């Protein structure tokens, strides 16, 4: 019964494609152009923490559209539209600029690493690496502080043009992460051909894995794969204490998810960090399992 409900939930989620949701909201690319102009797009940040030490290691930048009438719109609704209408490269640049501005006066020693999501178009934009080098240098920002997340299902089958720009980014010491691992059609080929530093196991495998033997096996194997390829493993979608403990047991390096924090405005990060440090003690988050 539980299994059936789960399958139904997945199926419904699949049906609610971004296209249908967009139609319901009546979003089009003209509105998105205006939104960029009026600076209605804003960065939210979701913390990533070490499963061993509890330390705050990074943040993922997740773009939001603060629409004057419709309220906050999720990237699931407008990123596909931005990709179709070639606006995504402008959005990416704005997301990067904002994150660098937000963190620019933080002590580099204590600053979390910043993760930026990229789309396929960013990786075929010939000026992208120049833009990055300029922007980071201008703000005295080390490329090592920045990780680019690439969703494997978004990568085209032909990796050749993308390999070039990814190699260039790595040469400049930016970090690369493979996002939503397990959801694409050629995961292993991409790991063979691309030099990633981090592997993010898709939340669909992580949350509740301890209740489903097959999912737990997949997570376990993904963590082992990351270790063998000298990549850091990130468990996405850690929503409960059970998820947290399970990922510790399986030996994942880093956790991200609602259990730790939901994505939030920049101004709330320091407050979250204080509370998180207390929670580690109060909820015994670092105690090994009995």
| Residues found near ligand C2E in the complex (CB under 6 A) | 46, 61-63, 74-76, 79, 88, 92, 95, 117-119, 149, 151, 179-180, 203, 237-239, 256-258, 263
The entry of Mg ion, ligand C2E, none that residue 19 binds, CB within 5 to 8 Å by partner kind = none
**Residues 238, 260 contacting (CB under 8 angstroms):** yes
| For ligand C2E, the closer CB: 90 or 239 | 239
For residue 235, what is the enclosing H or E element? Answer: strand 232-235
Residues 6+ apart with CB under 8 A from 43: 61, 62, 63, 64, 95, 98, 99, 102, 266
| For Mg ion, the closer CB: 149 or 232 | 149
| DSSP letter (8 states) at residue 51 | T
Q: How far is the CB of 122 from ligand C2E (least distance, A)?
A: 7
**Residues 243, 237 contacting (CB under 8 angstroms):** yes
| For ligand C2E, the closer CB: 62 or 194 | 62
Binding test (CB under 5 A) with Mg ion, winner from 46, 117, 248, 256: 117
Q: How far is the CB of 214 from Mg ion (least distance, A)?
A: 20
Distance CA 272, CA 275 (A): 5
Burial class (CB in 10 A: 0-12, 13-18, 19+), 39: exposed
Distance CA 51, CA 254 (A): 5
The candidate with the shortest Cα–Cα distance to 277, out of 6, 66, 47, is 47
Name the 3-class secondary structure at 196: coil
| For ligand C2E, the closer CB: 21 or 227 | 21
Distance CA 219, CA 181 (A): 10
Name the 3-class secondary structure at 18: helix
Q: Kindly indicate which of the ranges 4-12, 34-42, 71-79, 171-179 contains the residues binding Mg ion, using the contact rule CB under 5 A.
A: 171-179
- Binders of Mg ion in range 177-236 (CB under 5 A): 179-180, 236
Binding test (CB under 5 A) with Mg ion, winner from 102, 122, 125, 149: 149
Q: Kindly indicate which of the ranges 45-53, 149-157, 159-167, 226-234 contains the residues binding Mg ion, using the contact rule CB under 5 A.
A: 149-157
| For ligand C2E, the closer CB: 182 or 223 | 182
The entry of Mg ion, ligand C2E, none that residue 258 binds, CB within 5 to 8 Å by partner kind = ligand C2E
Distance CA 74, CA 66 (A): 9
- Binders of Mg ion in range 77-106 (CB under 5 A): none
Q: How far is the CB of 190 from ligand C2E (least distance, A)?
A: 16
Point out the residue whose Cβ comes nearest to Mg ion. 149
**Binding-site ranges for Mg ion (CB under 5 A):** 117, 149, 179-180, 236
């Amino acid at each position: 019964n539980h299994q059936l409900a789960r399958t139904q939930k997945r199926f419904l989620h699949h049906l609610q494609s971004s296209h249908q949701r967009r139609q319901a909201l009546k979003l089009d690319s003209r509105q998105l152009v205006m939104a960029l102009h009026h600076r209605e797009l804003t960065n939210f940040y979701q913390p990533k923490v070490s499963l061993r030490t509890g330390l705050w290691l990074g943040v993922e930048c997740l773009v939001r559209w603060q629409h004057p009438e419709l309220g906050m719109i999720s990237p699931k609704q407008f990123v596909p539209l931005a990709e179709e209408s070639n606006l995504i490269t402008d959005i990416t640049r704005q997301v990067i600029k904002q994150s660098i501005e937000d963190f620019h006066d933080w002590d580099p020693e204590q600053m979390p690493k910043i993760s930026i999501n990229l789309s396929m178009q960013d990786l075929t934009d010939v000026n992208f690496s120049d833009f990055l080098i300029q922007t980071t240098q201008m703000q005295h920002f080390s490329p090592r502080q920045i990780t680019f997340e690439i969703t494997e299902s978004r990568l085209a089958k032909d990796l050749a043009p993308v390999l070039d720009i990814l190699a260039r980014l790595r040469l400049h010491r930016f970090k690369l992460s493979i996002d939503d691992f397990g959801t694409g059609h050629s995961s292993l080929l991409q790991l063979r051909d691309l030099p990633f530093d981090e592997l993010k196991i898709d939340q669909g495998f992580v949350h509740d894995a301890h209740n489903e033997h097959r999912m737990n096996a997949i997570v376990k194997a993904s963590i082992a794969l990351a270790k063998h390829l000298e990549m850091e493993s990130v468990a996405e979608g850690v929503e409960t204490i059970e998820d947290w403990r399970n990922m510790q047991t399986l030996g994942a390096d880093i956790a991200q998810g609602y259990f730790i924090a939901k994505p939030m405005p920049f101004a709330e990060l320091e407050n979250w960090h204080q509370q998180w440090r207390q929670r580690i003690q109060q909820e015994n988050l670092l105690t090994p399992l009995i």
